[in-house]
Amino acid sequence: MDYYSKYLKYKNKYISLRNNINKGGASFPNEDPAFRHAIEESMKSTEEDDIVRQVLKETRDTNFMERVGKATILVIGASIDHQEDIDRWSQIDPNFIGISHMGDDPISDLGDWNEDENYWITVFNILGNRKFDSVYIDRGTIHHMGTNTGKVIGTAYGRLIKFIHERNITNKLYIHDDSISTTTIKPETIYSSILDTDEEYAKKLQVVYKTQQSRVITKGELSKYLMKYFRCCDTPTYINWSVGGQIIPELFVAWTRRE
């Protein structure tokens, strides 16, 4: 019997066995004890794996909720499982809570914040709708919150800002300065290659200006929306970021909740 014929033989036996199990009448073919033993071991292993996974999940969730009770800050875009985030945010609070879909915790299980308009409601239900001393939006996070997809109010960013204001989640919101800048943004300097003609260089420069102009407009819309709910700018804070052995202080602008 060739390999493929053997495959079909055991596949059909497995399907027949599975159907019997589903009907509540499981029985194993007496003529093939090796196959019977393999299936028994496989079923036992699957059941044990399911139990282990359930215990680990319950332990994970319990530890997470204990952490929630101790946390003083909430960081949008960070993960409590990512070492770089741990190093940075533990400078302020070793029990910080991170919100992302990249970790292994009950909030990460929710998936992408852009895909559910009730995402923040669900998140804060998990957190017991508790308040935090401050909420941070981490570096490189805002542009992942749907801010280039339409009106700000309908984005994950827009819903977050409105939610934490209306529910009085915090009086202090800190946003990385590069996300919503309070200063005028100048186009990046372009160095022309010696191989570029004047026309080619002009085209490159035009593209850069257009890109930067779009960036300024986007940031202006985000800032305008934010200022409906929070006022700028109180004492900022810095988070030290280690890059190649060099410590870079990252500026987070402070916004205070409007009454």
Note the pTM of the prediction, 2 decimals. Answer: 0.70
57 or 77, which is more confident?
Answer: 77
Q: What is the mean pLDDT of residues 18-24?
A: 55
**Residues 34-70 pLDDT 10s:** 666 666 666 666 666 777 778 888 888 999 999 999 9
Distance CA 19, CA 135 (A): 53
Question: Mean pLDDT over all residues of the chain?
Answer: 79
Distance CA 165, CA 120 (A): 12
Q: What is the mean pLDDT of residues 221-243?
A: 84
Strand duo 73-76 + 97-99: pairing: parallel
Indicate if the pLDDT at residue 235 is higher than 60: yes
96 or 180, which is more confident?
Answer: 96
Distance CA 98, CA 5 (A): 53
Q: Give strand pairing partners of 172.
A: 256
Identify the pLDDT of residue 188: 41
SS (H, E, C) the chain: CCHHHHHHHHHHHHHHHHHHHHCCCCCCCCCCHHHHHHHHHHHHHHHHHHHHHHHHHHHHHHHHHHHHHHCCEEEECCCCCCHHHHHHHCCCCCCCEEECCCCCCCCHHHCCCCCCCCHHHHHHHHCCCCCCCEEEECCCCHHHCCCCCCCHHHCHHHHHHHHHHHCCCCCEEEEECCCCCCCCCCCCCCCCCCCCCHHHHHHHHHHHHHHHHHHHHHHHHHHHHHCCCEEEEEEEEEEEEEECCEEEEEEEEEEEECC
Which of 30-39, 43-52, 117-126, 244-253 holds the top average pLDDT? 117-126
Do residues 170 and 133 make contact, with C-beta atoms less than 8 angstroms apart?
Answer: yes
